Amino acid sequence: MGKQVTELSIYNESVNVLVGITEPQAPFTLDVFEIENKNIPIITRELWTSRQRQAHSLHEISYRACFKPQLPKFFILRLTTESEIVYDPFAGRGTTALESAFLGRKVISNDINPISKIFAKPRLSPPALTTITERLKSLPKFPTESQQNHLSMFFHDTTFNEIVALKEYFTQKEKTNKLDDCDQWIRMVATNRLTGHSPGFFSVYTLPPNQAASIEGQVKINKKYNQEPEYRNTYDIIIKKSRSLLSDLRDDEKSTLAKFSKTAKFLTRDARNTPEIEDESVALTITSPPFLDIVQYATDNWLRCWFNNLDAKSIEDKISTPSNIESWQKIMKDVFIELYRVTKYGGHVAFEVGEIRRGRIQMEKLVIPIALDAGFHPVGILLNEQVFTKTSHIWGIENNSGGTNTNRIILLKKT
């Protein structure tokens, strides 16, 4: 067990900076992880207080296994300066990209899953609500040809027609390279609102929005709840969600996003091979990689892929989520070699590893040797420990027996 201390003068200066947050005198727990004759400090404390947990409304896009915006913000503010490049090789919904742009940093966002780009890119160029409303009024509500509702277990026939009409519109605009910022925004919101478990989605009651039920599964859900899909006005739902996403956006924030969206890169590459990123150009990488076949991509995303004309199975085949530790380490070894190439000297990597399989696998023990082999210097391991809310217990979250929620972040430096 670590001991309660209030300063770290005996350790690396970077760790001192990270500990010295809003309440620098607050105690934290200090342990040491020993590897290859190195003593790597492990610091446990609440890195952001309860007052800092409220996220900007623009972040509120549902996506499985995403971290909170406070995590990238914590590292961006302490390890970068304005206009430096912040990169996320496993970008997910784009939390790091959006938070980086808000804070005046250049953005590189990558994810082999193209849904990531569909969700991330539009939020750096958000249109005005009036623009969204006017655009929706101009869009067709019926497809060019009538189609049988093969998704009748999810959608009312009229709702299905509206969804197909939107799908056709985006397909045509993309083919002709005329998909503008407003179109991309509407496509993002529609993709996010396809299915869910409240009237704020296009579908009847189903699984949460980041996990689509199968056709057979939805038939069972409908039978269990004795329900049939009712008409949901897709355009009203898109406007309502857009209003919610834009509710916190100030004019100065919109101007900052506009500035940094011009230089932002949104890649759909394998993280092991990103030739679009220049050598030694990235000041900070913040990411959380895929872990040991936790997510079944094709199963969870088949409806989102259908709407966006994507082949879910081929995407799943590209996503590397191996079921054994050795295969995972081999993939991450190549990822770290690529991260070392793109990181500038003095730059950092904040690698969030969570807690896998109820804490039985300590990911830092798997990651740090790989990072060392790639050339990185391990600065320390930060454990952000937060007390659970009642809501967390309702959902069965129990990754700490003491009722806390822990982010485990390995901090690395290129020296």
Q: How many degrees, rounded to 5, is the angle at CA 186 between CA 90 and CA 285?
A: 20
Measuring CA to CA, which residue among 63, 173, 159, 162 is closest to residue 120?
Answer: 63
Whole-model pTM: value is 0.88
pLDDT of residue 359: 54
Task: Check residue 395 and give its pLDDT.
Answer: 29
Residue owning tokens 């309660």 = 4
d(CA 240, CA 253): 21
- Cβ-based neighbours of 312, under 8 Å, separated by 6 or more: 297, 298, 301, 302, 305, 306
| Alpha-carbon separation of residue 291 from 321, 332, 341, 364 (angstroms) | 6, 10, 23, 13
How many CB atoms sit inside 10 A of residue 39's CB? 10
pLDDT of amino acid 189: 98
Separation between Cα atoms, residue 368 and residue 231, nearest integer Å: 52
- Category of 375 on φ-ψ map: left (φ > 0), alpha (ψ -120 to 50) or beta: left
Per-residue pLDDT of the chain (415 residues; tens, 9 = 90+): 344 444 444 445 545 555 554 445 556 667 777 777 777 888 777 776 655 556 899 999 887 767 788 889 989 998 999 999 999 999 989 999 999 999 999 999 999 999 999 999 999 999 999 999 999 999 998 998 888 999 999 999 999 999 999 999 999 999 999 999 999 999 999 999 999 999 999 999 999 888 889 999 999 999 999 999 999 999 999 999 999 999 999 999 999 999 999 999 999 999 999 999 999 999 999 998 887 655 666 778 899 999 999 998 888 877 766 677 888 889 999 999 999 999 999 999 999 986 555 555 667 788 999 999 999 998 888 887 655 443 333 323 344 443 334 678 899 999 9
Task: State both tokens at 72.
Answer: 């990238």
Distance between CA atoms of residues 151 and 307, nearest Å? 12
* Residue 23: Cβ within 10 Å count: 10
297 Cβ neighbours under 8 A, 6+ residues apart? 113, 312, 315, 316, 319, 321
Q: Within 267-349, where are the H helices?
A: 297-307, 312-318, 325-342
174, 27 Cβ separation under 8 angstroms: no
**Residues 47, 69 contacting (CB under 8 angstroms):** no
**What pLDDT is stored for residue 354 in this prediction?**
67
DSSP 153: T
- Domain borders along the chain are 1-45+347-415, 129-245
Q: How far apart are the first and last CA of the chain?
A: 30
Q: How far apart are CA 247 and CA 263, in angstroms?
A: 25
- The CA-based dihedral angle spanning residues 82, 84, 89, 92, taken in that order and rounded to the nearest 10 degrees: 20
pLDDT at 17: 52
